[in-house]
Amino acid sequence: MSAYATSSAGRTLPDAALGQLVNHDDVPLQDRVAALLVLLYAQPLTRIARLGTDDVLHEDGEVLVRLGDPPSPVPAPFAGMLLDYLGQRPNTMTATA
């Protein structure tokens, strides 16, 4: 027996939630990416919020997230969402005078 409740379509609720994250463009990408990382890696939101851009690795066509050692692979299509988010982030560099 699964530890998760099952939806009427036979999918577990985390699976259904992951599907919603991919298909709902009406939810801001940053929110979908944060929820995706929480659901995929069972990390608390406070841990996800501390991730920096250097914690996402894109090597040899694979996307990895550094939550520990070794970094964890990010499965498609979520890898694309994560890279899209990183590419859309506003410039956070500030100039000081």
Number of domains in the chain: 1
Question: Is 61 among the domain residues?
Answer: yes
Per the domain annotation, does 2 fall within a domain? no
Residue 94, in any domain of the structure: no
Q: What is the pLDDT of residue 67?
A: 93
Domain that holds residue 77: 13-88
pTM here?
Answer: 0.71
Cis peptide before 44 (omega within 30 of 0): no
Angle 68-72-74 from CA coordinates, rounded to 5°: 145
Establish if 97 belongs to a structural domain: no
Q: Specify the pLDDT at position 52.
A: 92
Evaluate whether residue 96 is within a structural domain: no
Query: Does 8 have pLDDT greater than 60?
Result: no
Q: Is residue 17 part of a domain?
A: yes
Give the pLDDT mean for 4-32: 65
Alpha carbons 20 and 38: distance in angstroms, whole number: 14
Q: pLDDT per residue over 24-34, tens digit each?
A: 778 898 888 99
